[in-house]
């Protein structure tokens, strides 16, 4: 089986590529190495994958000649590539181009594949809105450009199933943490602040926010389990994450515990569009995929700290 992973040099995409390779699949990655965050981290991920025999095509999904750069015998597409985050410095145009237009261009390529078994859109709990505690049949209420454009991308993919043009599904991921997490994300910034004796910028009131912090390996367990289940997943949306909830304060305390030191907090103004609560409802994932995340928050944070020390100290 041959698998294409978009955004393969990113956080979750690189872990997924690595897992599929270990399971004996042929893995092709594609990434545009965007400067949205430190390209050095993406290159580090790329080198890690190269050592495992996985190559990454340096290509933007919006390029008009995308199909010419990709194989025509792909069996599964896992679409991670996106404009992430809810930073006020990101323009709506960036989300529109990288989340909607790029997905449409990738779908056009996918429609030309004769042996494609399933197109898997990697979605997000952000589509639910300020509180993401619902089952998949709940009407989405995204509260950010990121959530709005990711929902649109998801529907573009599922539209093809409704038209019987290809098999597709969407996995909505919840608060993923672990090694290779993006540098602007909470746990990477917490660990960096603690190790370097710097203050951690905490959005006002966010210490009370609730999150389903889910270890990346547990997320990947759910992602890889779709292979062979396309007959039950076509047209479906499935939440992937942990049912356990933690406050941001508990997340900070977990990092302090593994570091063995307190972290100084710098309170900054609230961030518009930030979710108040995420708690993954995974009844459907349990039923369809036998999904069962098991990693504790402390185990996840320790693993991320170990990776940080190995690569940045």
What pLDDT is attached to residue 89?
A: 67
Return the number of other C-beta atoms located less than 10 Å from residue 73's C-beta. 11
Q: What's the average model confidence in pLDDT over 219-223?
A: 98
Q: In sequence order, what are the residues at sequence separation of 6 or more whose Cβ sits closer than 8 angstroms to the Cβ of residue 19?
A: 220, 223, 224
| Strands 210-211 and 246-247, bridge-based pairing | antiparallel
Q: Which three-class secondary structure state does DSSP give residue 226?
A: coil
Q: What is the DSSP string of 5-22?
A: EETTTSHHHHHHHHHHHH
Per-residue pLDDT at 192 exceeds 70? yes
Neighbouring-strand partners of residue 239: 172
pLDDT digits (tens, 9 = 90+) for 268-281: 998 887 888 999 99
Q: In this structure, what DSSP letter does residue 72 have? A: S
CB 288 within 8 A of CB 233: yes
What pLDDT is attached to residue 87?
A: 65
Per-residue pLDDT at 106 exceeds 80? yes
What pLDDT is attached to residue 161?
A: 98
pLDDT digits (tens, 9 = 90+) for 240-269: 999 999 999 999 999 999 999 999 999 999
Catalytic residues: 146
* Distance (Å, whole) CA 44 – CA 42: 5
CATH T-level topology, domain 2-174+216-242+280-293: Rossmann fold (3.40.50)
**What does the domain layout of the chain look like in residue ranges?**
2-174+216-242+280-293
pLDDT digits (tens, 9 = 90+) for 8-57: 999 999 999 999 999 999 999 999 999 888 899 999 999 999 999 999 99
What pLDDT is attached to residue 274?
A: 81
Phi, psi dihedrals of residue 245, rounded to the nearest 5°: -110, 140
3-state helix, strand, coil in the chain (%, to 5): 40, 20, 40
């Amino acid at each position: 089986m041959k698998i294409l992973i978009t955004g393969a040099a990113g956080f979750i995409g690189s872990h997924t590529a690595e897992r599929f390779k270990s399971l004996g699949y042929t893995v092709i990655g594609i990434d545009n190495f965007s400067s949205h965050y430190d390209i050095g981290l993406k290159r580090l991920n790329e080198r890690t994958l190269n050592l495992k025999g996985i190559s990454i095509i340096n290509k933007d999904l919006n390029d008009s000649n995308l199909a010419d750069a990709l194989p025509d015998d792909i069996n599964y597409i896992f679409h991670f590539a996106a404009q992430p985050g809810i930073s006020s410095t990101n323009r709506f145009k960036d989300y529109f181009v990288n989340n909607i237009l790029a997905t449409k261009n990738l779908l056009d390529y996918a429609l030309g594949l004769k042996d494609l078994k399933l197109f898997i859109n990697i979605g997000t709990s952000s589509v639910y809105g300020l509180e993401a505690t619902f089952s998949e049949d709940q009407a989405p209420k995204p509260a950010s450009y990121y959530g709005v454009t990711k929902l649109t991308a998801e529907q573009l993919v599922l539209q093809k199933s409704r038209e019987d043009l290809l098999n597709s599904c969407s996995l909505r991921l919840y608060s993923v943490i672990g090694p290779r997490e993006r540098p602007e994300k909470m746990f990477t910034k917490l660990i960096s602040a603690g190790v370097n004796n710097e203050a951690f910028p905490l959005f006002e009131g966010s210490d009370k926010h609730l999150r389903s912090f889910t270890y990346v390996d547990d997320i990947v367990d759910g992602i890889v389990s779709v292979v062979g289940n396309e007959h039950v997943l076509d047209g479906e949306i499935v939440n992937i994450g942990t049912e356990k909830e933690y406050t941001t304060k508990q997340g900070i305390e977990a990092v302090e515990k593994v570091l063995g030191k307190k972290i100084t907090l710098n309170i900054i103004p609230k961030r518009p569009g930030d979710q108040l609560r995420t708690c993954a409802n995974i009844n459907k994932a349990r039923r369809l995929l036998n999904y069962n995340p098991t990693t504790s928050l402390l185990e996840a944070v320790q693993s991320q700290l170990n990776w940080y020390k190995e690569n940045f100290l």
